[in-house]
């Protein structure tokens, strides 16, 4: 597993990280054993960067991580998020409440200071007000958190956050089916020494190549209840693509790609081929998926022809179908 540096923090992060939303049972229910297997597989595969949030499973993801950390063979860097809990979102943000929620994450994770806390897709007006970022800087100075970043939905929001001189990282939606960040955001983040954490690398699983149009998801899986944006931002689940369209596009891409790699490998490798990316937090609901995703770090870069093909495919076939803005 290769590593990269996460922006100005100087943290060394594995190119492939682990997204831990699944540990909150938000992609279908995982048993304690399955959750432990996923986490153990991540360490064995050289993954040293995990992403969670206080709201995943109402704290379950952090609790499971905290329990596992007590016996973990190695202590990875853990990024969590604050800002979507019902006591804050959408308009109840105060310094004291944000600080208390951060303390709650530290308690569930069993750590004194959190490695990285990201604002969690807070409403745009709240983000642009600027208080939240300055409180994060205070919490860093107070030693509650080692570094802070922001997870955002839109490129303009990311560009806004980049102006903050102490920001360590940006977590963005970025994948073969959402490439716009290549144009201006990635170079700007690089120039500002801000690390890029990529979420939804497989577009909620569409880019694994295994999904079929008649696929059903469990009631508690966001791919069931937020399929069309009923519960939260429409751009998150399936990357904003209507499910059937996303499946058809993934099948078409798989047919047209001239490669011996799987679609999942191409999708992750394409992201790693962008030098400004620090780490990919691929989510996994099974240990085998963790291993398959981690292995992509050791694959060679895609060729120039494949990059041109994937770019054209996105701009001519995919982009127009994305809902919720970019
Ligand atoms: N607002 C935010 O800040 C925000 C929003 C979304 C996500 N995130 C973070 O980003 C992480 C990643 O995003 P995500 O999990 O939503 O999307 P993702 O990584 O694009 O997709 C994860 C899903 O893809 C499938 N998958 C993964 N690896 C696979 C493999 N090797 N082979 C076949 N299928 C595979 C699994 O689906 P099945 O479960 O169906 O097998 C898995 O649940 C999350 O875990 C979370 O930490 C943050």
pLDDT in tens, 7-43: 999 999 999 999 999 999 999 899 999 999 999 999 9
Give strand pairing partners of 283: 19
> What residues have CB less than 8 Å from 154, skipping those under 6 apart?
124, 325, 326
The pLDDT, as a whole number, for residue 320 is 98
Let me know if residue 326 belongs to a domain: no
- Could you read off the pLDDT of 112-145 as tens digits, one per residue? 999 999 999 999 999 999 999 999 999 999 999 9
Looking at ligand 1, which residue's alpha carbon is closest to its atom 47?
19
Lookup: tokens for 132: 């939240």
The pLDDT, as a whole number, for residue 321 is 98
Residue 219 burial class via C-beta count within 10 angstroms: exposed 0-12, middle 13-18, buried 19 and up: exposed
pLDDT averaged over every residue in the chain: 97
Dihedral sign (CA 116, 90, 100, 65): negative
Let me know if residue 181 belongs to a domain: yes
Phi, then psi, of 197 in degrees rounded to 5 = -105, 120
Domain that holds residue 68: 3-321
State in Å, rounded, how far the first CA of the chain is from the last one.
Answer: 31
Let me know if residue 110 belongs to a domain: yes
Let me know if residue 267 belongs to a domain: yes
Burial 76-109, CB ≥16 within 10 A → b, else e: bbbbbbbbbbeebbeeebeeeebbebbebbbebb
Report whether residue 21 contacts ligand 1, using a CB cutoff of 6 Å: yes
The pLDDT, as a whole number, for residue 310 is 98
Lookup: tokens for 4: 């990269």
Q: Is the pLDDT of residue 98 over 90?
A: yes
**44 CA distance to ligand 1 middle (Å):** 19
Pairing between strand 3-6 and 169-173? unpaired
Q: What is the CATH number of the domain that holds 199?
A: 3.20.20.100
- Could you read off the pLDDT of 186-198 as tens digits, one per residue? 999 999 999 999 9
**53 CA distance to ligand 1 middle (Å):** 14
Mean pLDDT of 232-256: 97
| Count of the separate structural domains present in the chain | 1
Looking at ligand 1, which residue's alpha carbon is closest to its atom 31?
289
The pLDDT, as a whole number, for residue 73 is 87
**202 CA distance to ligand 1 middle (Å):** 7
- Could you read off the pLDDT of 63-91 as tens digits, one per residue? 999 999 999 888 999 999 999 999 999 99
How would residue 59 be classed by pLDDT, with cut points 50, 70 and 90? very high
Burial 125-136, CB ≥16 within 10 A → b, else e: ebbeeeebbebb
Which of 200, 267, 283, 192 lies closest to 238 in space, CA to CA?
200
Q: Which DSSP category does 301 fall into?
A: P
The pLDDT, as a whole number, for residue 104 is 98
Looking at ligand 1, which residue's alpha carbon is closest to its atom 13?
200
Let me know if residue 58 belongs to a domain: yes
Let me know if residue 119 belongs to a domain: yes
Q: Is the pLDDT of residue 215 over 90?
A: yes
Which of 194, 220, 55 lies closest to 122 in space, CA to CA?
55
């Amino acid at each position: 597993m290769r590593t990269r540096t996460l922006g100005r923090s100087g943290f060394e992060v594995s190119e492939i990280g682990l997204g831990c939303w699944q540990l909150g049972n938000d992609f279908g229910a995982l048993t304690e054993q399955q959750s432990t297997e996923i986490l153990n597989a991540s360490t064995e595969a050289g993954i040293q960067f995990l992403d969670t949030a206080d709201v995943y499973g109402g704290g379950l993801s952090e609790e499971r991580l905290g329990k596992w950390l007590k016996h973990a063979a190695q202590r990875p860097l853990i990024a969590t998020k604050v800002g979507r809990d019902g006591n804050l979102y959408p308009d109840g943000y105060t310094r004291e409440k944000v600080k208390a929620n951060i303390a709650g994450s530290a308690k569930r994770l069993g750590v004194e200071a959190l490695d990285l806390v990201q604002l969690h897709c807070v409403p745009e007006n709240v983000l642009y007000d600027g208080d939240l970022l300055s409180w994060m800087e205070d919490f860093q100075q107070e030693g509650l958190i080692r570094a802070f970043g922001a997870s955002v939905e839109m490129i303009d929001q990311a560009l806004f956050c980049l102006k903050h001189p102490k920001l360590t990282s940006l977590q963005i939606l970025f994948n073969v089916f959402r490439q716009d960040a290549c144009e201006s955001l990635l170079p700007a983040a690089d120039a500002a020494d801000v690390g890029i954490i990529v979420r939804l690398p497989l577009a909620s699983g569409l880019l694994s190549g295994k999904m079929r149009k008649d696929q059903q998801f469990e009631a508690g899986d966001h791919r069931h209840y937020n399929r069309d944006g009923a519960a939260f931002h429409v751009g998150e689940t399936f990357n904003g693509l209507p499910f059937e369209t996303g499946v058809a596009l993934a099948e078409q891409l798989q047919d047209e790609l001239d490669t011996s790699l799987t679609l999942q490998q191409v999708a992750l490798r394409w992201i790693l081929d962008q030098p400004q990316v620090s780490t990919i937090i691929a989510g996994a609901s099974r240990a085998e998926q963790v291993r398959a995703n981690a292995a992509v770090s050791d694959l060679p870069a895609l060729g120039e022809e494949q990059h041109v093909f994937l770019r054209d495919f996105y701009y001519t076939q995919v982009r127009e179908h994305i809902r919720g803005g970019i």
